[in-house]
């Protein structure tokens, strides 16, 4: 490649790698695999090596990716948290060894240790390496004063990171107090284990939340949250792999420092092997590669470090990377297999997910026979067809995924894919709403959705059936005591009592609560039916306008759009829901059990807030947010979650946020809690 073409390609690569580095480091939402990113960086590094005069400071080869996220305090690292240069074959490893020996040969080494001639001849040069697993997580520094954990930070750009002390304190393997009262700063990698990551994504899939692309980004996203309760709810772990600063102990070797860290209470990287030469290093790298599937944590390579700390000092660092360490990256293992079929899985919320049924193939240590195909768009983008030969790999060594279709191997017998128009479980309509990737079953009696439907129906803001929690519902369904919402009203005292030892009192309380729910306000039933996009507020509006279930069932989309704040998606969702035969059958069953299906007469004639819209922000001392909203609505007013020119009042409590600022900018009247109390007297 001539210089002109090289310059153009370097500029392209700088822009591409900068974009993907931001997605990886700052957004924790990568769009390409680690391997693809590594290959882009390798190409950039090789071009810059060939044309060093084209190297500029904005190239990612010259600095660490990552910035300080807004909202976190900045932390300047006393010792930079550098990144490692990646290599991809053993030839590069031998080249690293040769560079290291040459560099040590050129240093002015004290004669008491070894003479310069002896170094050059390598006759007495004792150059050992430590090989460790390269943990796939988020790098952090931990500071201890007198043995007490005082501060933790992300790597950031290597020089300045984010103060995430509160989030790190939620990780059980970070000791709050060391076994010795020492001042020390260490570096470690926060990660999520393989099984824990699989469980997290399983739960997110059940709740129809976006899946994490890999364990590294799940860990990074958890730590870079301003709310530490999010970090506390995630299965975060850590391995420590380096002493950054410790003035009271003069360690002679890296291995010595790691053993000391274990002694004083740190959870140190469990894979650390001292090697005498590069052939031994290669054996350990191969051993790690062979056993990586048995590790409980994900890795993306092996790290090779000079063990002698004096030699490290002599070797020094570049701006971005140390000269005494290097990272060997394993290529992802990919296998070809047959896409035998595409079947459909219906989740508890009705999302219909296409699943690939594969000819079983062993990838990265485990046999893969099926994997998710995510959604309709994913399949169309890759042009997947039943009968295709596809390429499979494990994302982050954990999740099997279809990487590509080998179209050159098609025979013409492959069958194009189509999403179902009806739910494969219950036969109700399967609908994809505008702006969404998921196709959903809207059948209220779909067996796949019953657990979620019943749990929502019984919830506090719906029918408020006390004592009917998730474990009891699971038990009812498993024992075939119920199969839909209406069956709750046919439960017998003795059947419920049989679930628990001495369960008569529990059974009687639950029966009483179920019977009480028959007389609930009409809006609670509408909310409990779980109509998509319809929550408490919309349910109240529907109950107020249509007065009873029969009138509502006959409402057209155009009629529904006349309601304030009712958009087309909401209106269409309501219409589609009440058009289903399953819905009509269920409502008839509920009528037969005597459930209230009409708006009760409102005895309150005080509509002092009629025509007014309130926005609540911050915490109130005397009311919960829900109670305050109910008071406003009982006086004929409306509440909204966002401030606009239509807002009448903003009720601001403690720690009010951006809504208060926006109200001030728009000139909206702002009231405090005391003023609100005066208004409702």
Regarding whether 272 and 209 lie in a shared domain, the answer is yes
Distance CA 134, CA 298 (A): 9
- Which letter does DSSP use for residue 446 in this model? -
Yes or no: say if 445 and 529 are a contact pair by the CB < 8 Å rule: no
Q: 431 lies in a domain?
A: no
SS3 391: strand
Indicate the length of the chain as a whole number: 681
Residue 114: what pLDDT?
47
Q: Give 490-523 pLDDT, tens digit per residue.
A: 999 998 998 887 789 999 999 999 999 999 999 9
pTM for the model: 0.56
First to last CA, the chain: 81
User: Would you state the pLDDT for residue 70?
Assistant: 56
Options 8, 14, 134, 245, the catalytic residue: 134
Residue 21 lies in a domain: yes
- Pair 446, 495 in one domain: yes
* Residues spanned by the domain of 485: 442-592
Burial classification of residue 439, based on how many CB atoms lie within 10 Å of its CB (0-12 exposed, 13-18 middle, 19 or more buried)? buried
Residues 604, 582: Cα–Cα separation, whole Å: 36
Do 321 and 183 have their domain in common?
A: yes
* pLDDT at residue 513, as a whole number: 96
H/E segment holding residue 422: none
Confidence of residue 26 (pLDDT cuts 50, 70, 90): low
Grouping H, G, I as helix, E, B as strand and the rest as coil, residue 585 is helix
In a domain, 608, yes or no: no
Contact indicator for 284, 292 with CB cutoff of 8 Å: no
Rounded to the nearest 10 degrees, the angle between the axes of helix 581-592 and helix 568-579 is 70
- Give 291's DSSP letter: H
Given a cut of 80, is residue 347 above it in pLDDT? Answer: yes
Q: What is the pLDDT of residues 78-123, one digit of tens each?
A: 999 999 999 989 999 999 999 999 999 876 444 344 444 544 444 4
Reference 154, options 141, 167, 145; nearest CA is 141
Is the pLDDT score of 284 beyond 90?
yes
Do 316 and 375 share a structural domain?
no
What CATH number did the domain enclosing 119 receive? Answer: 3.30.470.30
Closest CA to 266 of 302, 248, 249, 241: 241
Contact 346, 448 (CB under 8 A): yes
- Whether 492 is catalytic is no
- What confidence tens digit (pLDDT) does each residue in 561-597 have? 998 778 899 999 999 999 999 999 999 999 999 999 9
Quick one: 378 and 519 in the same domain? no
Question: Does one domain contain both 151 and 276?
Answer: yes
Radius of gyration of the chain (CA): 31
Beta strands 613-617; 638-640: pairing state: parallel
pLDDT value of position 65: 56
User: Cα(390)–Cα(363) distance, rounded to whole angstroms?
Assistant: 13
Tokens of 650: 């903003």
Asked if 458 and 471 touch (Cβ cutoff 8 Å), the reply is no
Query: What is residue 602's predicted lDDT score, i.e. its pLDDT?
Result: 65
- Tell me how far CA of residue 89 lies from CA of 95, 482, 584, in angstroms: 10, 61, 66
pLDDT bucket at 290, cuts 50 / 70 / 90 = confident
Say what the pLDDT of residue 120 is. 45
Residues contacting 679, CB < 8 A, separation 6+: 608, 671
Q: Tell me the three state secondary structure of residue 326.
A: strand
In a domain, 85, yes or no: no
Q: Do 341 and 317 fall within a single domain? A: no
- Is 654 a domain residue? yes
Specify which residues 619 forms β-bridges with. Answer: 654
Q: Do 119 and 259 have their domain in common?
A: yes
pLDDT at 558 over 50: yes
Residue-wise pLDDT for 417-460, tens only, equals: 999 999 999 999 999 988 888 899 999 989 989 998 999 999 98
**Which of 293, 328, 363 finishes a domain?**
328
Sort 678 into a burial class: Cβ within 10 Å, 0-12 / 13-18 / 19+: exposed
Element (H or E) spanning 175, and its range? none
Do 390 and 458 lie in a common domain? no
Q: How many CB atoms lie within 10 A of CB 578?
A: 18
Residue 573 lies in a domain: yes
- Range in 134-143, 570-579, 629-638 the model is least confident about: 629-638
Residues with Cβ within 8 Å of 116's Cβ and at least 6 positions away in sequence, in order, are 105, 108, 109
The domain boundary, picked from 544, 559, 592, lies at: 592
Q: Give the whole-angstrom CA distance, residue 148 versus residue 146.
A: 6
Residue 671 β-bridge partners:
651
In terms of domains, do 140 and 198 share one? yes
Instruction: For residue 293, tell me if it sits in a domain.
Output: yes
More confident of the two residues 56 and 324: 324
Of 39, 103, 47, the C-alpha closest to 318 is 103
Q: How many domains does the chain have?
A: 5
CATH of the domain at 401: 2.40.50.140
Neighbours of 25 (CB within 10 A): 21
Locus of tokens 């406003």: 632
Q: What is the pLDDT of residues 44-90, one digit of tens each?
A: 888 888 888 888 877 877 765 555 445 678 999 999 999 999 998 99
Residues 353 and 309 placed together within one structural domain of the fold: no
**∠ Cα 222 196 473 (to 5°):** 100
Q: What is the pLDDT of residue 500?
A: 82
pLDDT of residue 348: 74
Tokens 């560099």 belong to which residue?
Answer: 103
Quick check: is 67 in a domain? no
106 shares a domain with 38: no
Closest to 341 in 3D by CA, of 291, 277, 388:
388
Helices (H) and strands (E) in the chain, counts: 25, 24
What pLDDT does 603 receive?
Answer: 63
Which DSSP string corresponds to 207-254?
TTPPPPS-HHHHHHHHHT-S-HHHHHTS-EEEEEEEEEE-TT----BH
Region 32-51 average pLDDT = 81
Q: Cβ contacts of residue 58 below 8 Å, gap of 6+?
A: 14, 18
């Amino acid at each position: 490649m001539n210089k002109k073409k090289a310059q153009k390609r370097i500029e392209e690569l700088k822009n591409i790698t900068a974009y993907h580095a931001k997605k990886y480091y700052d957004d924790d939402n990568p769009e390409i695999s680690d391997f693809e990113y590594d290959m882009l960086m390798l190409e950039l590094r090789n071009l810059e090596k060939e044309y060093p005069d084209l190297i500029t400071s904005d190239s990612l080869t010259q600095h660490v990716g990552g910035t300080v996220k807004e909202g976190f305090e900045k932390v300047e690292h006393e010792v930079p948290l550098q990144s490692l240069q990646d290599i991809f074959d053993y030839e590069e490893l031998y080249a690293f060894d040769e560079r290291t020996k040459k560099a040590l040969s050129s240093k002015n080494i004290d004669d008491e240790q070894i003479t310069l001639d002896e170094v050059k001849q390598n006759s007495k040069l004792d150059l050992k390496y430590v090989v460790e697993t390269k943990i796939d997580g988020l790098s952090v520094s931990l500071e201890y004063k007198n043995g007490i954990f005082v501060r933790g930070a992300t790597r950031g750009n290597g020089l300045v990171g984010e103060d995430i002390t509160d989030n790190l304190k939620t990780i059980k393997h970070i000791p709050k107090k060391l076994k010795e009262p020492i001042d020390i700063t260490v570096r470690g990698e926060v990660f999520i284990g393989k099984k824990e990551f699989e469980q997290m994504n399983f739960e997110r899939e059940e709740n129809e939340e976006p899946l994490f692309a890999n364990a590294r980004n799940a860990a990074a996203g958890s730590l870079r949250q301003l709310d530490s309760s999010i970090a506390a709810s995630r299965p975060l772990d850590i391995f420590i792999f380096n002493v950054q600063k410790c003035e009271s102990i003069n360690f002679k070797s890296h291995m010595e420092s790691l053993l000391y860290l274990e002694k004083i209470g740190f959870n140190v990287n469990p894979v650390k092997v001292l090697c005498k030469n590069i052939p031994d290093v290669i054996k350990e790298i191969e051993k790690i590669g062979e056993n990586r599937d048995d590790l409980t944590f994900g890795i993306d390579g092996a790290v090779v470090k000079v063990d002698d700390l004096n030699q490290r000092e002599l070797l020094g660092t570049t701006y971005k990377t140390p000269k005494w360490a290097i990272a060997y990256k394993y290529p992802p293992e990919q296998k070809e297999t047959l896409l035998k079929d595409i079947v459909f899985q219906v989740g508890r919320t009705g999302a219909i997910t296409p699943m690939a049924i594969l000819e079983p193939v062993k990838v990265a240590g485990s046999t893969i026979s099926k994997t998710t195909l995510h959604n309709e768009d994913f399949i169309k983008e890759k042009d997947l067809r039943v009968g295709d030969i596809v390429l499979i790999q494990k994302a982050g060594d954990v999740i099997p995924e279809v990487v590509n279709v080998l179209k050159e191997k098609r025979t013409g017998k492959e069958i194009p894919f189509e999403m179902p128009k009806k739910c494969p479980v219950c036969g109700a309509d399967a609908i994809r709403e505008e702006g969404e990737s998921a196709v959903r079953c809207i059948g209220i009696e779909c067996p796949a959705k019953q657990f979620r439907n019943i749990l929502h129906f019984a919830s506090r803001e719906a029918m408020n059936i006390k004592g009917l929690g998730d474990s009891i519902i699971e038990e009812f369904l498993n024992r075939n005591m119920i199969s839909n919402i209406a069956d709750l009203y046919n439960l017998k005292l003795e059947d419920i009592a049989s679930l628990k030892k001495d369960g008569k009192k529990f059974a009687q309380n639950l029966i009483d609560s179920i019977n009480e729910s028959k007389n609930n306000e009409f809006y609670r039933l509408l909310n409990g039916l779980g109509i998509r996009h319809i929550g408490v507020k919309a349910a109240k509006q529907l109950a107020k306008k249509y007065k009873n279930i029969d009138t509502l069932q006959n409402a057209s989309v155009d009629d529904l759009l006349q309601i304030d704040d009712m958009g087309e998606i909401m209106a269409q969702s309501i219409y589609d829901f009440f058009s289903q035969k399953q819905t009509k059958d269920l409502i008839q069953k509920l009528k037969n059990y005597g459930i209230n299906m009409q708006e009760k007469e409102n005895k309150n004639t005080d509509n002092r807030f009629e025509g007014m819209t309130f926005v609540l922000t911050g915490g109130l001392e005397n009311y919960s947010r829900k109670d305050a909203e109910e008071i406003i609505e009982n006086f004929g007013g409306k509440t909204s979650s966002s401030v606009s020119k239509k807002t009448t009042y903003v009720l601001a409590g403690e720690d009010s946020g951006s809504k208060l600022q926006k109200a001030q900018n728009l000139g909206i009247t702002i009231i405090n809690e005391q003023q609100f109390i005066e208004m409702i007297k």
